[in-house]
Amino acid sequence: MSAQVIDGKAVAKTVTEDLKERIAALAALGVQPGLAAVLVGDDPASHTYVTSKAKACKRLNLYSEVIRRPADIGQSELEDIVRNLNGDSRIHGILVQSPLPKSIDEMAVTMAIDPSKDVDGFHPVNVGLMLLGRPGLLPCTPHGIVKLLAHGGVDPAGREVVIVGRSNIVGKPLAAMLVQKASMANATVTVAHSRSANLPDITRRADILVAAVGSPKMITADMVREGCVIIDVGVNRVEDPGSDKGYRLVGDVDFEACARKASHITPVPGGVGPMTIAMLMHNTVAAAESISRRVD
């Protein structure tokens, strides 16, 4: 078997193209959706990610603002920046880029964000709405994974989904989304992690396997069954002397070996990553629509 590769770049382009009509409708009302990213410190990956977000905003004609602060910023100063953005009418979406310095209470910063502008979907209000199956701003990466499954023609209803990884950013929210009584849900979900006993036995049960652990090629061919769907969330740098950068990006899945057994698989790069940014644009537009209705 040779797996069908689910092209995240192509699906992300479809998602953003579908936003253009909604953006035009907002423009007719005098509203330009605006996204503010707060970047603390000099983490290279964070800088790259924030730059990608700003470029995506420019392509869609969204207002974009990046606020950069040094790693020694104080807790109160960072929370004040967030509160000022809450009151800024140009800004409909706020994100504070992770990771933050260890001196910062990240949850306190998240709690300071107006839930209606929480385009990362991390505020407890939005997490609660997600768990209840109510409308709200969903976390971008899990929402992007659901969109990838839909575009790949993979309905999780009635299937066994195994998620390897229990983070608050991917694993746990994706599990919450897939167990809902809703379209592109109704799955039987197992969340496995680093302390799961007999992990290969668990992963081999999966109709749909999601790898989100941050460990290069951790999922090997002997850990997946024939015909499964594999979603690889991991983005890991491994040394590659033959590359100009001295490294290359690989996922949590041994792509070449697992692709010979899977029915569908996402690549790294070019799979889940582009969807995260696309869903951030989706959330920013949705937040602008919601806030505009509230103001009216």
Q: pLDDT of the chain along its 296 residues, tens only? A: 689 999 999 999 999 999 999 999 999 999 999 999 999 998 888 888 899 999 999 999 999 999 999 999 999 999 999 999 999 999 999 999 999 999 999 999 999 999 999 999 999 999 999 999 999 999 999 999 999 999 999 999 999 999 999 999 999 999 999 999 999 999 999 999 989 999 999 999 999 999 999 999 999 999 999 999 999 999 988 888 888 888 889 999 999 999 999 999 999 999 999 999 999 999 999 999 999 987 65
Q: Alpha-carbon distance 230 to 140, whole Å?
A: 19
In this structure, the chain runs to a length of 296
Q: Alpha-carbon distance 100 to 132, whole Å?
A: 29
Note the pLDDT of residue 1: 61
Tens of pLDDT along 205-254? 999 999 999 999 999 999 999 999 999 999 988 888 888 888 889 999 99
Strand pairing class (93-96; 63-69): unpaired
Q: Which residues contact 126 (CB under 8 A, 6 or more apart)?
A: 115, 118, 136, 137, 138
Please return the burial class of 190, using the count of CB atoms within 10 Å of its CB with bins 0-12, 13-18 and 19+.
middle
Domains of the chain, each with CATH number or no CATH: 30-114 (3.40.50.10860), 140-273 (3.40.50.720)
Note the pLDDT of residue 277: 97
Note the pLDDT of residue 243: 85
Q: Structure pTM? A: 0.95
Torsion of CA 280, 282, 288, 292, to 10 degrees: -160
Which positions are annotated as active-site residues?
53, 97, 120
Q: What share of the chain is helix, strand, coil (3-state, %, to 5)?
A: 40, 15, 40
Strand pairing class (4-5; 229-232): unpaired
Whose structure tokens read 């989304």? 177
